[in-house]
Structure formats: structure tokens, C-alpha cells
Structure 1
Amino acid sequence: MDFAVTHTAPDLTRLTASAAARLLQRRELTALALLDACIERIEAREPELQAWRHYDADGARALARQLDGGPIRGPLHGLPLGVKDLFDTRDFPSAYGSPIYQAHRPAHDAAAVALCRDAGAIVLGKTVTTEFATFTPGPTGNPHNPAHTPGGSSSGSAAAVGAHMVPLALGTQTAASVIRPAAYCGIVGFKPSFGLIPRAGIKSLSESLDTVGGFGRCVEDVALLTSVMANAPQWRQLPTDRKPRIGVCRTAFWDRASPAAQAAFHDAVQRLTAQGAHVVDVTLSDAVATLADVHDEVMSAEAFKALADERLNHPDLLSERLQAMLERGGQISFEQSLQHRAHVASARHQVGRGFADYDVLLTPSACGEAELGLERTGDPLFSRIWSLLGLPSLNLPVGFGPQGLPLGIQVIGPVMSDTATLGFAHWIERSLAS
């Protein structure tokens, strides 16, 4: 439900991006009022969460005033946006989570950022990422309990949206870097099909895996954000005229899910069945289940090449964990890489044929609640296969575990079925809320 503009500033931070967008488009809310509410929230929570690497309140206010005094710019008009510090930005440093780039000032925006600005978004600042979007985390804490990780590598983006600092934020996923932090922070995260959003101006880690995605508070939010970057306005239609056929896929890693994650998953399946979804159990073949290990090798081998300059010229500024990953990647031969490509192509075809029997797959998003401590960002296990196959996937929050931290389920669609996948995820979201 949309809020009236007479509500106080703290109420404005509770608006979904899509609700705020409707108010902004109708001139029933000013960009400056929404921005000021977000800045107030940042100032209250940033000391404990440390979600931002840089943010510019004054510059954002100046842009908000321009937007309020001019024509509606586009679908994101007046919406504050956090940008993961893996994206180049012309008005903020871009360090990619590494001391190597602490003084790096790009001359241009990444293509995805430029598209968001053109649609009227207000880039409030850069959010913390792990080292080159890998494992070594930054200082960000979980918005539900700062002693726990927010997940990674899109740590600051997920924490900022989860803490109501901004309604939208950009992320990227190579293994689980959108889905897992969205699950840990209790928000919606969407990773579109591979290649539909441009990666120009984003620090590369893995050429065949890196995918741009986004965070919001509902499916409508992430559809709004990503549709702008993909130039796909049809993603915002969210058709829900047919109840989905859902393939329940516990995966070969089911025993790695915590009892709370398993219980939340079972409860979601039962509720969706009660709402009229056609639900079938799906078991992955051994060839598909082994893709988790293949993903790790593909990512390591491609990172060895993508980070060649950093590895060769600044090895002392790389973490031990990243150095070990790059060393492992350098040992994977060209012939092995070709074998991996053939394996993935075969598995993609096999999984694609399975979607003839169901519209979306449902799996856990993560092994459970966010881990205690900030030294690790959690296990990416439940997203590796789907990232390797390039399939669209979303995290939907499904309650809380025994530690009071969020749990999530993952909705996965066939490759290049993003419009339909978003629509079915919207139906699932509404059904679970009823």
C-alpha cells in the first residue's frame, strides 16, 4: 500500500521502491523528502553496519532538487540507489574491495549505472563489496544483528536495503553474491539470466559467470530496477494469470541445510500447495549435481586470467584466500576448461528439458541463517549450479530462524524466461504472504 506524503520521514524509509515510484511519478512525494529520510536512516545505522564505502548526501540532495523541479526522468525517477563498489562510477571512487585500487577514480559510469541514472535514479553512494567479489569480506554487518555476516559479495548493497537505508541497490553474482546476501538480510534479490544486463565498466572476475542483479523489498521492486538495466519493460508487467507448476528441488545438498532452513522450505511448499500451485518433486541427475564442483573450477580458472595484472604486479596486496584460489585456477588446463564447457552445455540442455514439466524450481537459498562473525560470508552451495547454468533466480524471504535471522527460498526459471519467472515469483510471494 502506498503511503501519503504527510507521513513522517521514518515511514518513508519503509516504502517499497515500487510504491515510492508511484508516488514520485504522480508528484505526491518529492525526491528530496524520500532522500532525506534515507539519509537520516543511514546516519542512524551506518556506525554499526558499515554498509557504505562512500556516500554523498549533499550531491544527492542537489540532484533530488533538480528532479523535483524538472520533468519525470523515467521509471526510477527520484529513487535513491546504492551501487556495489564493483561498478565504475564517474563521481565516486571504485576500489573493487581491494587496497590495490584505493585511489582509483574512474572517468565513466558502468553501463548499468548510466542506465539507472538516465531513468532518474539518485546514486547515493558506493556499497561495500568483498575483495574483487570473492571471499575476503569488508566490515559490513547484518542489519538484523551486526555481529553476523550480511553475506557476500554484495554485502553492503544487501545490508543497505535490509536496513531501509535505500529502497534499491545494485549487486552482482558469480556464485551466490545476490541470492545469499538477500536471504541473510531478509530482502528480495534477483539475478537475471546471464548476459541480459551489460557488464561494461564492472570489474570482471569470471567471464562466463558474472551477472548483474539487484535488491529490493519485493518482487515488483527488483523487476523495476533490473528492467531498466536490461531495457526490458515487460519485466515490470508481472503476469500472474496462471498458478505455477513448481518443481520442488531439495538438491543433493539437502543435508547441508539447517533444520530451520529445511522446516521453512517445507512450510513454504505446503502453503503454496494449499494456494493451488501444482507441486512436483524434482531430483537432479548426478551430472547436474556435480556442477557445484565444476562451478568452482570454472570460476577459479577464469579469475586466474581476469585478475592477471593484480596477481602478477600486486601479489602482496591480495589476500591469502584469493591467492590460493588464483593458484588453483592456474593449474586448470585449457583442455579441462573445454571439458567443463561441454559438461555445462549438456547439463543446461538436460535441465532445460526438465522445465517442460514445471514452470519454476524451488530450492533453499542458503544453508540457513547468517553465520556469526564477519570473517566469512557464508556458503554459496545452493546457488552455484544455477549461476553456472545462467538461469534467472530470486530469493524470497520466508520468515526467521531460531537466532532471529532471516531465511529464504530460491525461485529459479528456465534460461531467458525472466519475464515469466518474475511473474511466477510474484505469485509465490503473494501466496506466501496471504
Structure 2
Amino acid sequence: MGCMQQLTKPAWTKEADIQAFAWTAPEPAPDAQAQAQTGQTLPLAGQTFGVKDVIDVQDMPTQFGCAGMPLQHRTWDATVVAQLRAAGALPVGKTVTAEFAYSAPGPTRNPWNLAHTPGGSSSGSAAAVAAGMVDFALGTQTGGSIVRPAAFCGVVGFKPSFGLVHRQGMLVTAETLDTIGWFTPDIASSAQLLSVITQSAPLLPRTPKKVAWAAALPGLLPEMQHLLAAVKKTLHAADIAVQDMSAQQHVLDALAHVHGLTVRYELARGMLGIASDHGHLLSPNLQNVIREGMAQDTASYWMTQQQRHALSHTWLHAVGDAELIIAPSTYGPAPVGLGTTGSSLPNRPWSVLGWPCVHVPLVCNAQGLPMGVQLIAKPAADADLLAMAQSIQALCADSAMLQGSACISA
């Protein structure tokens, strides 16, 4: 699929157009340079990465996508950054985030077409990887902030199981939702990062025997429907059993509703101190969300969490022995315009469940914009998810049905 090859324009010459970075280091620190020269046995030796600007990096500022915040350099790394640095990787800058990782977009543009959104809130991280500026980048997801920009920018976006990656050094606003993940050019690189962070051995690609098909989301654009239909035919041709989950769409709808109630309550309290001291710097929309969230009482919040727990059990039972869930990452390719980052509705159920998800890029549409699918596994099956994702992507790459689909560029 030639359209999905990495952009070939030289790295860093595109930053003025794409604006993926909020802050960049003038050059790697001397100790990091020495590490890159002497630590060739380290698993990530010499690889460069960007860090979403809600995660701390030593000697770099964290401004949370809010330009008025004081420019104070951090004195130590977030845990995940320290893990990656110890493995030989070099953080080169802070990537643009939507305001406090919520909804107000930053200046980043989509590398495939500058007139289109890169998604959000991890917009800069996805765009920097898509443009070849870094080897990988860290992001965070509360609703769809990793999977959606990965889909719009045509890269692999991995959201681990909730709690798998330590959040020390990250601004946590939604306590039971916020998850650190990453963007890579391919699935093998994502699996390598998972291996480094969890201190586990990467798994070889393997093909699932049975998948659950959760693609009954209303409002999908025709080209996304065509792509999903081609993927399903490809699975059938490979003798992979496909379990239709359309009768359970109401469970996913209910989970998405629970997500909305949960994120408002938790974000309002997570942002309360910032709003008290720097409220004048926040956008009107974020101020509104904080007010609405503070108006939710704790008893209602706990009732919502009980519903969340019950829905999780219902969905787990419905999935049964399926090893993998396949769902749309987005409604379609990246929309035109930079005023919003697109809808996170296709991603919210999986975030509120806390299950691991990965966006797998597959094709480009007739306008040259990337498209793909979202794969989800059961809790703590992160390595299995990436192992199966490699096989699914390989099957689709060889599929005559996808090559003949109307959503594939000539």
C-alpha cells in the first residue's frame, strides 16, 4: 500500500508548517549524547522521541497547551520518560497538546494535508511521528486522544490497559481514565516500547482464531463503511471466526454515556486548583466544563461508577471467547479544518472500560488521507493485542479485497 509509506520530506524541515512541537531542546544533553555513543546494546539506543506537553521531562517546560502558564523547567523526568531514557532513547521536545489535554485544539496541522485536523488531544505527538520528525512519541488518552490522532495521521497509536504505565510526572485530571500511551510508525516499534516499559519479552505475531465485530456505530462515513466491510471479508477469507456484536451496541452506547459523566466529574476536580489560581487563562469551554463537573454530586458519581462496573461485566460476558475486538477508530478520515480535533465517541467505550487499544493504519482514501481500524483486547492482554495486530495488518496488506475497495487510493 504505497500510499501508507512514511513521508519522505526531510525531518524537521516540515515543523514550520506542521507545528507539532510546543518546545524543542537545542540539542541532546551531553550525558544523553554519551549514552547514545556508548550504549549501543540498549534496546532504544539513539532513538528520539517527543513527549506530550502534559508529561514532565527534566530541563524542559510543561505548559499543558496553555500559553499563559509560567515557563518553568522541570527538575526530573516523569517515570515513563525515565524508563525510556534508561533504555537509550533521547527526548527532543514537548509536543503540542489540546488545552490541558481536553478539547481546545493547538496549532498543529495534519502532515498528510495541512488543511485537515491532526486530531487530539495528542495532536503534536501523532503529527511528529507521521512526519518522521521523531522515532516515536508519548501521548495520553482520556477519551480518544491517542487512537483518534493516530487514525487521522496514519500512524500506530497504542493505548495500554488502564494502570499499566505509571503516571508519576503526568498531569492527571481524570483519575480513573487518563492513560499514557505512544505513537510509532509501525506495530513492531510499539511492541518494543511495551517490552521496555513493562520489562517483558515481546511476542511474535500471531493470528487470532476468533474476533468480535463491534462496528455498528451510527454515523460512519461511507468510505469507513467500505473499509470495514473489506476488512471483514479479509478475516473470513483467512478462516478467522467473526462474532457479530451489533446486538450489544446499546452496551457501548451506555458506556460512552458513563464516560461523559465520569470525565466531567473527575476533570473538574482534577483541574480545580489550576482553575482557582489561573482560571483567567482557561478557555471559556474548559471553564464551563469545570463548573458543570463541580455541580455533579458525589453520590451521583458513585452511582455512575456502579453502572460502569456492571456494564463492564456485561460487555466482557458478551465478548466471550473472542480474542480481539475490531471497531472503527473514527467516523472517517481527518475532517477539513483546525477548529476542532474530531469526535472521540468511537473511542470512549474502550477508555471507560480501561481495555488496551491500538489504531492500525491500513489504507488511504482517494484524497490521500490515511484510514484504518481500532483493535481492542481484554484487560492486561496488551502484548497479545499487539502480536495479533501485526498479523491483522499483514493480512490486510495482502488482501485483494482491500486493494479493490473504493476507499483505497490508486
Same fold (TM over 0.5): yes
- Report if the CA contact (8 A) 2:256-2:349 is conserved: yes
**1:76 partner SS:** coil
Say whether residues 1:238 and 2:208 are aligned partners: no
**Structure 2 residue 15 is the aligned partner of structure 1 residue 46:** yes
Tell me if the contact between 2:50 and 2:136 (Cα under 8 Å) persists in the aligned partners: yes
Distance 1:277 1:102 in 2: 54
Q: Which residue of 1 aligns with 2:27?
A: 58
Aligned to 1:360: 324
Shift of 1:91: 1.8
Q: Kindly provide the amino acid, as one letter, of the partner of residue 237 in structure 1.
A: L
Match of 1:211 among 167, 179, 194: 179
Q: Which has the higher helix share?
A: 1
Counterpart contact for 2:194–2:383, Cα < 8 Å = no
Partner of residue 144, structure 2: 176
- Look up the equivalent residue of 1:281 and give its one-letter code: D
Number of corresponding residues: 393
Q: 2:104 aligns with which of 136, 152, 157?
A: 136
SS of the residue 1:425 aligns to: helix
Q: How is 1:247-262 mapped onto 2 (pairs within 5 angstroms)? A: 247-251=212-216, 254-262=217-225
Structure-2 separation of matches of 1:134 and 1:277: 38
Q: In 2, are the aligned partners of 1:214 and 1:226 still within 8 Å (CA)? A: no
Cα distance between partner residues in 1 of 2:87 and 2:262: 35
**Deviating more after overlay: 79-88 vs 63-72:** 63-72
Matches within 5 A, 1:28-427: 41-42=11-12, 44-59=13-28, 62=30, 65-72=33-40, 74-229=42-197, 231-234=198-201, 236-240=202-206, 242-251=207-216, 254-283=217-246, 284=248, 286-427=250-391
Whether contact under 8 Å (2:6, 2:130) holds in the other structure is no
Does the residue aligned with 1:394 lie in a helix, a strand or coil?
strand
Counterpart amino acid of residue 317 in structure 1: L
Q: Give the TM-score, by structure 1 length.
A: 0.86
CA distance in 2, matches of 1:315, 1:73: 48
Q: 1:29-78, CA deviations, whole angstroms, 9 ceiling, x for partnerless residues? A: xxxxxxxx99x511x10011000111124226x55642353133522111
What is the CA–CA distance in structure 2 between the aligned matches of 1:150 and 1:77, rounded to whole Å? Answer: 29
Question: Amino acid of the residue matched to residue 152 of structure 2?
Answer: Y
Q: Give aligned-pair identity as a percent.
A: 36
CA-to-aligned-CA distance 1:148-170 (integer Å, 9 cap, x gap) = 11000110000000111112111
Shift of 1:383: 0.3
Cα gap change, 1:99 to 1:354, in 2 (>3 Å):
same
Structure 1 residues 73 and 104, CA gap change in structure 2 (3 angstroms): farther
Do the aligned residues in 1 keep the contact of 2:155 with 2:186 (CA within 8 Å)?
yes
| Cα distance between partner residues in 1 of 2:105 and 2:233 | 36
Query: SS at 2:97's partner residue?
Result: coil
Aligned 8 A contact 2:65 2:99 in 1: yes
SS at match of 1:58: coil
TM-score, structure 2 as length reference: 0.91
Q: Structure 1 residues 78, 290: CA separation in 2 closer, same or farther (over 3 Å shift)?
A: same
Bigger shift: residues 117-126 or 220-229: 220-229
String of CA shifts for 1:124-157, please: whole Å, max 9, x gaps: 1111111110001110000101111100011000
Q: Distance in 2 between matches of 1:130 and 1:289?
A: 25
2:408 is matched with: none
Q: Offset at 1:244?
A: 3.2
**1:391-423 CA distance string (max 9 Å, x none):** 000001121234321112100111111122121
Change (3 A) 1:288 1:365: closer
Q: Name whichever of 286-295 and 83-92 sits farther off.
A: 286-295
Q: Which residue of 2 aligns with 1:7?
A: none
Amino acid corresponding to residue 255 of structure 1 in structure 2 = P
Distance 2:344 2:396 in 1: 25
The alpha-carbon deviation at position 221 of structure 1 amounts to: 1.1
Larger mean CA deviation between 398-407 and 124-133 belongs to: 398-407
Q: 1:304 to 1:340 in 2, by over 3 A?
A: same
| Correspondence list, 1:19-30, <5 A | none
